C-alpha cells in the first residue's frame, strides 16, 4: 500500500514538473475589430478581384501553408518568393527572441531558422489566433518569380535532384512546355493537391496559393516594388510589422544579421528574364500560364 502511494506521488510530481516547462504566450487582444481595418487601395482592388473570381470563375488552391506570429496576430502566406523566404526567417527569428533562454539568439537562428519553416494549414490559423488575424501575402511579378524558381530548382538543385523540374534539368523551354499539363493535374485533381512537390510550390501561380477562396477578406496583399531595397525586409512589410507591434530594434537586428536583400535580383535571374522576354513564344506561354496572377494582381508585361 505504501509503495503504491509513493508511486502515485512521484507520478504527480513528474506531471507538475513537465507542466511547468510548457509555455504559451497568448496573442495580443484586438484593440479594434478586424472589420474596421482599412486596407490600402491596392489591397482593396485585389480583394475585389478575388471576390469577382469567386463568383464568376474558380481559384484553385494547390498549396495553402502559413507561418504565424501569434502575439502580433500576423500570419504569412508561404507563396514562394525570395521576399517570402526572408520574412519566414524573420518570423522564426522573432519567435526565438520571445522564447530563447541560454543559447545565443544568433546561434539559435542559424540552427533553427535557416532553411526551415513552420507549415500550418488554414484551419490552424484560427485555432492558434482566435478572434482575428492579418495574413500577409507578398506578391511578386510572375516573370521574376519564375526566374527565381528556375534558378533555385533547375540550376542550383539539379545535382542533388536530377529529376527535378519535370525531368527537364536546366532546359528552360522544356520546363515551360511541361508546366501547362502539370497545372492541369494540380487544378483538376488528377494529382492530389495534398501531395507536396517543389515544382508545385515554386511554379504554381501565386493566386493558387494560400486558399484565397477562404482567406482573401483577412489578407493584406503587398506588391513588392522594384529592386531598390537596401535591407532584407522590404519597406512596405516593415511598416506593417511595426504597426502590428513588432519591436523596431528586432527588425534592425535581423536586417543586420542577414547579409542579403530580398529586393535584389541576381545576375543569373537577369539572364533568365532576358531569355523569357526575348523569346516571344516562351513569353506568351508564360503569360497564359500565369494569367490568373496577371488578372488578380494587375501585373503587366
Residue 100 counted as domain residue? yes
Closest CA to 254 of 233, 240, 224, 239: 233
Residue 49 counted as domain residue? yes
Q: How far is the CA of 217 from the CAs of 73, 166, 212, 242, 248, in angstroms? A: 15, 35, 9, 21, 28
Residue 207 counted as domain residue? yes
**192-209 pLDDT, tens per residue?**
555 558 888 899 999 999
Q: How many CA atoms lie within 13 A of 136 on its CB side?
A: 27
Q: Which domain holds residue 234?
A: 34-297
**213-256 pLDDT, tens per residue?**
889 999 999 987 655 556 678 888 888 999 999 989 889 888 88
Query: Who has greater pLDDT, 158 or 78?
Result: 78
Residue 212 counted as domain residue? yes
What percent of the chain is modeled with pLDDT above 90?
27
Measured distance CA(210)–CA(42) in Å, rounded: 19
Query: Who has greater pLDDT, 81 or 150?
Result: 150
Q: How far is the CA of 283 from the CAs of 148, 150, 162, 187, 192, in angstroms? A: 16, 15, 26, 22, 29
Measured distance CA(70)–CA(240) in Å, rounded: 15
- Give the cell for residue 30: 484586438
Measured distance CA(268)–CA(241) in Å, rounded: 31
Residue 266 counted as domain residue? yes
Residue 14 counted as domain residue? no
Domain count, the chain: 1
8 Å CB contact between 95 and 43: no
Measured distance CA(41)–CA(47) in Å, rounded: 10
Give the torsion sign (CA, 228, 230, 231, 235): negative
Residue 219 forms beta bridges with which residues? Answer: 135
Q: How many CA atoms lie within 13 A of 36 on its CB side?
A: 4
* Secondary element (H or E) of residue 19: helix 2-21
**127-147 pLDDT, tens per residue?**
888 888 999 999 999 999 999
Q: List the strands of the sheet with 74-77, edge to edge.
A: 66-69, 74-77, 134-139, 219-223
Residue 77 forms beta bridges with which residues? Answer: 66
What percent of the chain is modeled with pLDDT above 70?
74
Measured distance CA(133)–CA(218) in Å, rounded: 7
Residue 161 counted as domain residue? yes
Residue 206 counted as domain residue? yes
Amino acid at each position: 500500500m505504501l509503495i503504491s502511494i509513493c508511486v502515485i506521488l512521484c507520478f504527480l510530481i513528474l506531471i507538475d514538473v513537465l507542466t511547468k516547462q510548457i509555455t504559451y504566450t497568448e496573442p495580443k487582444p484586438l484593440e479594434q475589430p478586424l472589420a474596421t481595418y482599412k486596407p490600402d487601395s491596392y489591397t482593396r482592388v485585389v480583394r475585389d478581384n478575388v471576390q469577382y473570381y469567386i463568383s464568376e470563375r474558380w481559384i484553385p488552391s494547390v498549396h495553402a501553408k502559413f507561418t504565424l506570429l501569434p502575439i502580433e496576430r500576423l500570419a504569412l502566406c508561404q507563396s514562394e518568393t525570395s521576399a517570402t523566404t526572408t520574412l519566414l526567417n524573420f518570423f522564426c527569428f522573432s519567435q526565438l527572441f520571445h522564447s530563447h533562454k541560454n543559447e545565443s539568439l544568433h546561434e539559435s537562428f542559424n540552427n533553427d531558422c535557416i532553411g526551415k519553416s513552420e507549415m500550418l494549414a488554414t484551419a490552424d490559423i484560427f485555432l492558434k489566433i482566435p478572434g482575428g488575424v492579418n495574413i500577409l501575402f507578398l506578391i511578386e511579378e510572375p516573370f521574376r518569380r519564375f526566374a527565381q524558381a528556375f534558378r533555385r530548382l533547375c540550376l542550383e538543385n539539379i545535382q542533388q535532384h536530377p529529376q527535378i523540374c519535370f525531368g527537364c534539368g536546366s532546359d528552360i523551354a522544356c520546363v515551360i512546355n511541361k508546366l501547362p499539363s502539370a497545372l492541369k493535374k494540380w487544378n483538376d485533381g488528377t494529382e492530389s493537391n495534398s501531395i507536396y512537390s517543389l515544382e508545385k510550390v515554386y511554379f504554381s501561380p501565386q493566386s493558387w496559393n494560400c486558399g484565397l477562396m477562404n482567406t482573401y477578406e483577412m489578407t493584406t496583399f503587398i506588391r513588392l516594388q522594384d529592386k531598390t531595397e537596401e535591407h532584407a525586409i522590404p519597406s512596405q512589410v516593415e511598416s506593417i510589422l511595426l504597426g502590428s507591434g513588432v519591436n523596431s530594434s528586432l527588425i534592425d537586428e535581423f536586417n543586420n544579421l542577414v547579409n542579403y536583400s530580398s529586393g535584389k535580383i541576381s545576375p543569373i535571374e537577369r539572364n533568365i528574364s532576358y531569355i523569357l522576354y526575348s523569346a516571344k513564344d516562351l513569353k506568351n506561354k508564360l503569360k497564359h500560364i500565369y494569367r490568373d496572377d496577371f488578372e488578380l494582381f494587375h501585373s503587366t508585361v
